[in-house]
């Protein structure tokens, strides 16, 4: 080397052991000059490869670019000027050493390369180049040393003036280059035009900005100024959008599938049985799609892992420096600077790694969601049956989420073992074999922790069970709250909820015990490890001395070790869960798909629209065919009716024509576009208009015609927003008939060639059916001239169709026109004759569109029987008819109670009058207020009050003690390390170990107690908050439930209570933990180096600002993310249930686009959320790194007054602080986000309540009401403040035992009267007296429990039948059986194995509607009070049940006062008096005979019903 340089290469006296260090010229000219060149040349091949693949269009030559290039060329000239100078010296016969030729040559070429790179990057559209910034930075760094030494030598004499000059010019130029390269270029030209209104600044930001996530700052500031909204979010980067990702993933998955299937064909037959054909692996597809991107992140992780071991080594060097009293001061400063640089690098690299991981996770979720969505649109029906909609939605939500969560930690799989190995290696070097003792403790703690985790999981499952049952019960209670109020049953149900809640909290308490144990283990682990290691180390050999270096370096290494050891088990269990998810997803993606070519669409015999020849179909390859030997030719423009009994394959035939079934043999051809109306209407969650347009271009004229034809005009007037009304999921706010008509309107609007109508007329009542047939389907309808296939049960329409196809058991039994079939005189003719009766009635009916939609059968029957109830002959006919009907009208044939399923569809008109149209803007349902902005301190105070103020103080005190103990243990350790060494041994080691152990264990104990106290406090808070909420909700007046959606109240009981139970306490634990550990760090550093106090203030201010910006922004981003998440899933479940409709209309593509859009919308708020964490991390960790820097720096400054132990203590504390600072911000944010739950629950625990249930001293006598007299005195009432009066000044008297019928048009106030008697509505003025007692003056329960009502819609709760009849267990079994006998349920109940304990399902779904009505009757019979109110069921009950009820009431309640709200007049014709209400006032009140004679309102109503 000396020959090469002409001088010594390294001289430690000159460079190290001196107060004024310098490097030898040789070292400067070789190593320092070559470092940048080596870096650039080694990075070049990779960089060129990257540039080749990434082209963004080129950037126009700018001034910046010109200057960069100019200076680059100048640099090259300067370098080579040196080279030529060396040649010049050769000619002068002064032979310079070879280094003066080699170095300028290398430097010159490298600079030239850099200059060329600047231009190449410009052509590839790179706006800011990281590679070059690092190159210029290295060049400046390496030139600083020579620059300093050149200035130092200048003081002497200058022998090489030329080289000095060129070097100074070179130094100036590289600084200029570095500065210029930090600016970014303009965006590329010719890049695809960005139409984005709000593009993400990431792509166009410079290298440094991306490294520190500086580009996010604008959003952080915006989020701090005001709550973020959707429009503030940036668009997604191209590479993160569904379009790109799902396409890539689908491509890879298709490749996989092809390979899987190809291999099977390729093999020779004899080898097949040996090797199973390979299943296509979804994992491989994922790896191919996302693997390479993820590996970049893994690379960063590797560097970060290696860097994390540098700081303990530097700490050891620093302690060595402090001990060595005559070391030059600059050593200390270099160590401090290195610590800082190392920490900053670690921060930057770690967050790059996280960025790659999170983005991979995000893309995985997008990809998986998209692939599943696309698959769900093409799977066969048999595949769909194997998994429910809920399960498929779970694949998308839960399983895709698992992948996302795993990504963050996946690298721990290799990184954890690596870290553990390195840490053990360095520990072994420091302490030798005694390390194994410490490691043994760690390893023993792993099974302990995992056992706790297992147990906790078991508790979680149990608690989920309780939670689900509690929510289910709450759901039913809120659904039937009106009934509970009418029956005064609230206390019984409240007890049930509290019972479940008690169990739930019991489980919570158990898991809290466990949690505090695991907290104890987690906090004591590092301490126990250190204790055992040090104890073993000192005890093994007297010569083993524990000095500061050993103690604190090993402590910092143990801290590094803690993380991978605790993470490994978690990662492994995560991987296990994810592999289960992967299997499920793979299984779903491998399901069979529908064969798109099973239905031929091109070739077909001329003149025909549909032809089926010798075809058989089944619902799945393995099932037996549902349709056999079908031959069918439908001429274009024909109207074909398909009839047959239940389950004979009518719907299957339609599905077969759509290509939804497996075609086993034969040919099917369908020519032209298809519109399909399924039997159960499929309605999207969109506006009514969107449901009808279904993606077609709007055309107002055509649209109005369609509405008119489908009889939707009248419905639009009833709906609150006309055709802009938002229809809920599954069409929840439309009646069955309306849904069916919307579905039909969609078909009509689509203007297709072929219409497949699967029984569209069954759900609508007879008049509407007739209207629709005439206006739409029939020979003169809108669709005339189109090919129509109509599945129908309506016999009356058959004469008007062109062809009739009669199906029987999956075969076509006969075909032909109406007349032909009648002549053939086979089964069909027989079938028709039984229905002649139906025909006659049809004719007599006035075809008006009624408001109430009643089923064809009921409607016809009720009028028919009203006319002829006394003719024995017709009664026979009627029974026969009912029997026939139950066969015909049931739609699915699957339900045992066919009549009732059918009826459930029909409209239930609400009891309240519809709100007047005028206040459209004044919504019925108030929008929920979303919390924005900072959380008020009062909320924290409320929570503290719920926990108990004393408990809160105790908790804080305990945390202080715990940290005091921890600091004490470490101070003791530092004191121990300073113990003087005598004869190579330390004295009283046992005492030292004893005190250290005592302090450490004390800390652990206090942790145990404090986390335990906190958990108990949290549970008591949860208990009191829930009880208050429940209490209030049972006392809330009915009007609140009318204006608040149940979902919103349930949300309080589920989500918010969950947050208070399970989220807030652990968050507080974490918050306290991090807060106090940061605090103790500050205390320790200030105690050891008081100067540090100066720096704290600016650092704290910086920290505070970052924290406020972050919390405000991230909280709002979280909210936006959760709001935009649910639409993905609801849209998906909608799609799954409507897949056949979507396919029939050919809208698959656009639905995929909608889904992609929804996913992208969600990711748009998720992505900034990730970035905000990175942004925060880098800034907060920078504060932490500064703390490290200053702790080390002040230690160096105060070197003479400090001992090694204190420095070790303060710096090792500083090294840990970064993590707790980071988590502290996160926890603050979590706490602020979640504490809102307390506020929301408080808000609902303080809504206004109704009158007290029981008023002391005002209770009515035991036998009240004994006579049953009612009196209304000048009584008025309104539904809610601000609405009009519903009843206006009613005055009437009812004597005991009278039977009163109440009639009136819809909205006349009939139901309101009953609600007033029960004080569900409180009087606006006037009063009601019962037996002379003013009802407003007694407790609500006293009143309600003395009246009996049989409500309009029977509500049952899930539980036993006995509970539904007698929730308070007041009556004996005999009484209950007697009531059942009188209500005609005895036969049914005694036939059930469990008799009175027969379980009713939710809402009584497993009883027919008629049976439910009878259960309500049984309730009334059990109570048997003097006043019975009967709110007659509109149309939910078949006539037989209705007669039973009427009969029972006439016999059993003979001496009671009965008020009946009648819809069918025939039931009240024999009552004592009839009250006719009109618009809230008494219009007529007299005996029925007198009213008919007086020809008033009642007469006209009776005439309509055919009774007068």
Confidence of residue 190 (pLDDT cuts 50, 70, 90): low
Confidence of residue 919 (pLDDT cuts 50, 70, 90): very low
Report the C-alpha gap between 424 and 1061 in whole angstroms: 41
Say what the pLDDT of residue 771 is. 84
How far, in whole angstroms, is CA 951 from its chain's centroid?
35
Mean pLDDT of the chain: 82
Eight-class DSSP state of 1304: -
Please state which of the ranges 169-183, 549-563, 957-971, 1419-1433 shows the lowest mean pLDDT: 1419-1433
Please state which of the ranges 588-597, 723-732, 782-791, 1325-1334 shows the lowest mean pLDDT: 723-732
The set of residues, in sequence order, having a beta carbon less than 8 Å from that of 767 and lying 6+ positions away, is: 845, 847, 848, 849, 850
Confidence of residue 1138 (pLDDT cuts 50, 70, 90): confident
Report the C-alpha gap between 381 and 592 in whole angstroms: 9
The H or E element spanning position 1273 is strand 1270-1278
Confidence of residue 882 (pLDDT cuts 50, 70, 90): very low
Report the C-alpha gap between 1316 and 1310 in whole angstroms: 10
| Whether the Cβ atoms of residue 534 and residue 506 lie closer than 8 Å to each other | no
State whether residue 1430 is helix, strand or coil: strand
Q: What is the mean pLDDT of residues 1213-1225?
A: 85
User: Structure tokens of 479?
Assistant: 């659904």
**pLDDT above 50 (res 756):** yes
Nearest C-alpha neighbor of 1038 from the set 744, 1351, 755, 775 = 1351
Burial 642-663 (b: 16+ CB within 10 A, else e): bbbbbebbbbbbbbbbbbbbbb
Report the C-alpha gap between 634 and 997 in whole angstroms: 93
Report the C-alpha gap between 246 and 253 in whole angstroms: 10
Residues 628-641 have pLDDT tens digits of 888 989 998 899 99
Residues 144-165 have pLDDT tens digits of 888 888 887 765 555 678 888 8
Report the C-alpha gap between 1043 and 1133 in whole angstroms: 28
Say what the pLDDT of residue 930 is. 53
This prediction has a pTM of 0.78
User: Structure tokens of 974?
Assistant: 């530092």
Burial (Cβ within 10 Å: 0-12, 13-18, ≥19) of residue 808: middle
**pLDDT above 50 (res 851):** no
**pLDDT above 90 (res 342):** yes
Confidence of residue 18 (pLDDT cuts 50, 70, 90): confident
Residues 58-68 have pLDDT tens digits of 788 888 889 99
The H or E element spanning position 631 is strand 627-635
Phi first, then psi: give them for residue 477, nearest 5 degrees. -60, -45
State whether residue 139 is helix, strand or coil: helix
| Whether the Cβ atoms of residue 421 and residue 439 lie closer than 8 Å to each other | no
Say what the pLDDT of residue 1466 is. 74
Q: CA-CA distances (angstroms) from residue 840 to 207, 597, 796, 847? A: 86, 47, 10, 14
Confidence of residue 441 (pLDDT cuts 50, 70, 90): confident
State whether residue 1457 is helix, strand or coil: strand
For tokens 């580009």, the residue is: 215
| Whether the Cβ atoms of residue 358 and residue 347 lie closer than 8 Å to each other | no
Helix, strand, coil tally for the chain in percent (to 5): 65, 10, 25
State whether residue 23 is helix, strand or coil: coil
Q: What is the mean pLDDT of residues 364-385?
A: 88
Say what the pLDDT of residue 834 is. 62
Say what the pLDDT of residue 216 is. 92
**pLDDT above 90 (res 248):** yes
Report the C-alpha gap between 50 and 362 in whole angstroms: 23
The H or E element spanning position 1251 is none
For tokens 């009109």, the residue is: 1478
CB atoms under 10 Å from CB of 1394, counted, come to 10
Report the C-alpha gap between 837 and 624 in whole angstroms: 38
- Higher confidence at residue 896 or residue 1398? 1398
Q: What is the mean pLDDT of residues 1250-1265?
A: 82
Confidence of residue 822 (pLDDT cuts 50, 70, 90): confident
For residue 1292, the cross-strand partners are: 1272
Instruction: Find which of 308-312, 621-625, 1215-1219, 1353-1357 is predicted with most confidence, using mean pLDDT.
Output: 308-312
């Amino acid at each position: 080397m000396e020959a090469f340089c002409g001088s010594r290469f390294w001289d430690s006296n000159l460079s190290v052991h001196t107060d004024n260090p310098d490097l030898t010229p040789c070292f400067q000219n070789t190593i320092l000059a070559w470092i940048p060149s080596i870096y650039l040349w080694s990075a070049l091949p990779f960089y060129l490869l990257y540039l080749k693949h990434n082209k963004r269009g080129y950037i126009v030559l700018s001034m910046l670019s010109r200057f960069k290039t100019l200076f680059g060329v100048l640099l090259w000239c300067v370098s080579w000027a040196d080279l030529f100078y060396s040649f010049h010296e050769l000619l002068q016969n002064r032979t310079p050493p070879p280094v003066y030729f080699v170095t300028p040559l290398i430097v010159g070429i490298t600079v030239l390369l850099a200059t060329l790179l600047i231009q190449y990057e410009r052509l590839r559209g790179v706006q800011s180049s990281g590679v070059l910034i690092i190159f210029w930075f290295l060049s400046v760094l390496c030139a600083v040393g020579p620059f300093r030494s050149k200035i130092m030598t200048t003081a002497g004499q200058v022998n090489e003036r030329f080289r000095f000059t060129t070097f100074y010019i070179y130094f100036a130029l590289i600084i200029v280059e570095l500065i210029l390269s930090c600016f970014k270029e303009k965006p590329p030209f010719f890049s695809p035009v960005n139409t984005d209104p709000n593009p993400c600044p990431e792509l166009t930001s410079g290298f440094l900005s991306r490294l520190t996530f500086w580009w996010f700052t604008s959003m952080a500031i915006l989020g701090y100024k005001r709550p973020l909204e959707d429009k503030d979010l940036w668009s997604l980067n191209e590479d993160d959008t569904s379009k790109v990702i799902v396409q890539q993933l689908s491509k890879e998955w298709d490749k996989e599938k092809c390979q899987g299937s190809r291999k099977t064909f390729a093999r020779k037959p004899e080898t097949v049985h040996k090797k199973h054909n390979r299943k296509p692996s979804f994992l491989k597809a994922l790896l191919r799609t996302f693997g390479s991107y993820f590996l970049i992140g893994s690379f960063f992780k590797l560097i970060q892992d290696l860097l994390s071991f540098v700081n303990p080594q530097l700490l050891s060097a620093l302690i060595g420096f402090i001990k060595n009293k005559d070391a030059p001061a600059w050593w200390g400063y270099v160590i401090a600077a290195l610590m800082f640089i190392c920490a900053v690098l670690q921060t930057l690299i770690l967050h790059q790694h996280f960025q790659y991981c999170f983005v991979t996770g995000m893309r995985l979720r997008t990809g998986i969601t998209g692939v599943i969505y696309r698959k769900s649109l093409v799977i066969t029906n048999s595949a769909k049956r194997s998994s429910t909609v809920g399960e498929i939605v779970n694949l998308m939500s839960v399983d895709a989420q698992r992948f996302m969560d795993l990504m963050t930690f996946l690298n721990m799989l290799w990184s954890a073992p690596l870290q553990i190995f390195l840490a053990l290696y360095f520990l072994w070097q420091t302490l030798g074999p005694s390390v194994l003792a410490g490691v043994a403790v760690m390893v023993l703690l792993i099974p302990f922790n995992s056992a706790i985790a297992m147990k906790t999981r078991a508790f979680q499952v149990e608690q989920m069970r309780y939670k689900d049952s509690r929510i289910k019960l709450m759901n039913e209670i809120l659904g039937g709250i009106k009934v509970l109020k009418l029956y005064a049953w609230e206390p019984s149900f409240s007890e049930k909820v509290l019972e479940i809640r008690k169990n739930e909290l019991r489980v919570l308490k158990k898991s809290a015990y466990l949690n505090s144990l695991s907290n104890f283990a987690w906090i004591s682990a590092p301490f126990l490890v250190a204790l055992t290691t040090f104890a073993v180390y000192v005890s093994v050999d007297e010569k083993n001395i524990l000095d500061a270096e050993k103690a604190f370096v090993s402590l910092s290494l143990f801290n590094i070790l803690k993380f991978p050891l605790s993470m490994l088990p978690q990662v492994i269990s995560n991987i296990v869960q994810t592999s289960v998810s992967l299997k499920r997803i793979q299984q779903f993606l491998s399901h069979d798909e529908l064969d798109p070519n099973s239905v031929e669409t091109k070739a077909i015999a001329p003149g025909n629209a549909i032809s089926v020849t010798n075809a058989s179909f089944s619902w799945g390859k393995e099932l037996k065919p549902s349709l056999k030997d079908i031959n069918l030719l439908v001429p274009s423009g024909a109207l074909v009716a398909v009839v047959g009994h239940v389950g004979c394959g009518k719907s299957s035939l339609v599905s077969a024509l759509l290509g939804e079934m497996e075609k086993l043999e034969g040919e099917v051809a369908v020519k032209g576009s298809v519109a399909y109306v399924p039997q159960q209407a499929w309605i999207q969650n969109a506006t009514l208009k969107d449901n009808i347009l279904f993606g077609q271009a709007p055309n107002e004229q055509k649209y109005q015609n369609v509405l008119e034809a489908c009889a939707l005009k009248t419905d639009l007037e009833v709906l609150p927003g006309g055709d802009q009304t938002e229809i809920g999921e599954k069409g929840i706010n439309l009646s069955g008939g309306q849904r069916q008509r919307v579905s039909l309107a969609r078909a009509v609007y689509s203007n297709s060639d072929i219409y497949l109508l699967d029984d569209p007329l069954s759900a609508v009542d007879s008049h509407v059916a007739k209207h629709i047939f005439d206006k739409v389907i029939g020979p003169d309808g809108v669709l005339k001239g189109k090919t129509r296939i109509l599945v129908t049960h309506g016999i009356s329409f058959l004469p008007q169709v062109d062809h009739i196809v009669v199906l029987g058991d999956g075969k076509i039994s006969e075909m032909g026109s109406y007349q032909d079939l009648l002549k053939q005189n086979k089964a069909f003719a027989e079938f028709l004759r039984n229905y002649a009766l139906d025909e006659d009635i049809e004719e007599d009916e006035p075809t008006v569109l009624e408001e109430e939609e009643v089923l064809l059968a009921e409607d016809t029957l009720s009028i028919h029987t009203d006319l002829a109830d006394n003719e024995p002959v017709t009664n026979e006919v009627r029974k026969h008819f009912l029997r026939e009907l139950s066969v015909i009208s049931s739609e699915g044939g699957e339900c045992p109670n066919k009549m009732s399923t059918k009826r459930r569809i029909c409209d239930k008109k609400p009891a309240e009058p519809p709100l007047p149209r005028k206040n459209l803007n004044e919504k019925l349902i108030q929008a929920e207020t979303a919390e924005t902005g900072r959380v008020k301190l009062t909320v924290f105070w409320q929570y503290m009050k719920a926990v108990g103020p004393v408990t809160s103080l105790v908790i804080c005190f305990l945390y202080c003690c715990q940290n005091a103990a921890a600091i004490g243990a470490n101070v003791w350790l530092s004191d121990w390390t300073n113990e003087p060494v005598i004869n190579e041994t330390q004295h009283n080691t046992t005492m030292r170990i004893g005190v250290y152990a005592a302090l450490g264990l004390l800390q652990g104990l206090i942790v145990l107690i404090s986390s335990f106290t906190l958990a108990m406090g949290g549970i008591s808070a949860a208990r009191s908050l829930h009880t208050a909420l429940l209490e209030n909700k049972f006392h809330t007046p009915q009007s609140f439930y009318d204006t608040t959606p149940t979902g919103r109240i349930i949300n309080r009981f589920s989500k918010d209570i969950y947050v208070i139970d399970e989220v807030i306490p652990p968050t507080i634990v974490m918050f306290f933990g991090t807060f106090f550990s940061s605090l103790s760090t500050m205390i320790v550093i200030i105690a050891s180096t008081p100067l540090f106090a100066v720096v704290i203030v600016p650092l704290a201010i910086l920290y505070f600002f970052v924290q406020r910006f972050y919390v405000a922004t991230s909280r709002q981003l979280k909210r936006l993310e959760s709001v935009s998440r649910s639409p993905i899933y609801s849209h998906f479940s909608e799609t799954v249930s409507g897949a056949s409709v979507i396919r029939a209309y050919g809208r698959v593509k656009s639905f995929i686009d909608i889904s992609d859009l929804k996913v992208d919308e969600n990711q748009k708020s998720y992505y900034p959320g990730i970035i905000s964490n990175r942004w925060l991390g880098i800034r907060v960790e920078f504060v932490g790194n500064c703390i490290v820097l200053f702790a080390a720096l002040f230690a160096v400054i105060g070197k003479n007054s400090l001992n090694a132990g204190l420095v070790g203590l303060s710096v090792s504390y500083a090294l840990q602080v970064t993590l707790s600072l980071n988590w502290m911000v996160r926890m603050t944010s979590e706490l602020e986000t979640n504490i809102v739950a307390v506020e929301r629950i408080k808000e609902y625990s303080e809504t206004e309540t109704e009158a007290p249930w029981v008023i002391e001293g005002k209770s009515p006598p035991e036998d009240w009401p004994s006579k049953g007299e009612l009196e209304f005195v000048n009584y008025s009432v309104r539904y809610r403040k601000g609405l009009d009066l519903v009843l206006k000044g009613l005055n009437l008297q009812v004597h005991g035992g009278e039977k009163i019928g109440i009639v009136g048009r819809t909205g006349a106030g009939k139901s309101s009267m009953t609600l007033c008697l029960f004080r569900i509505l409180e009087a606006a003025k006037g009063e009601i007296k019962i037996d002379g007692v003013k009802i407003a003056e007694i407790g609500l329960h006293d009143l309600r429990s003395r009246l009996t009502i049989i409500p309009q819609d029977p509500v049952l709760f899930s539980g036993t039948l006995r509970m539904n009849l007698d929730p308070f267990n007041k009556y004996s079994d005999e009484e209950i059986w007697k009531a059942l006998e009188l209500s005609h349920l005895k036969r049914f109940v005694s036939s059930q194995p469990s008799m009175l304990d027969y379980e009713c399902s939710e809402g009584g779904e497993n009883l027919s509607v008629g049976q439910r009505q009878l259960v309500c009757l049984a309730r009334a019979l059990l109570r048997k009070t003097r006043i019975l109110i009967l709110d007659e069921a509109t149309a939910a009950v078949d006539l037989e049940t209705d007669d039973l009820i009427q009969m029972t009431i006439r016999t059993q309640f003979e001496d009671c006062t009965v008020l009946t709200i009648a819809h069918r007049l025939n039931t009240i014709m024999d009552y004592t008096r009839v009250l006719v209400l009109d618009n809230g006032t008494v219009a007529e009140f007299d005996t029925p005979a007198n009213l008919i004679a007086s020809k008033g309102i009642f007469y006209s109503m009776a005439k309509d019903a055919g009774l007068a």
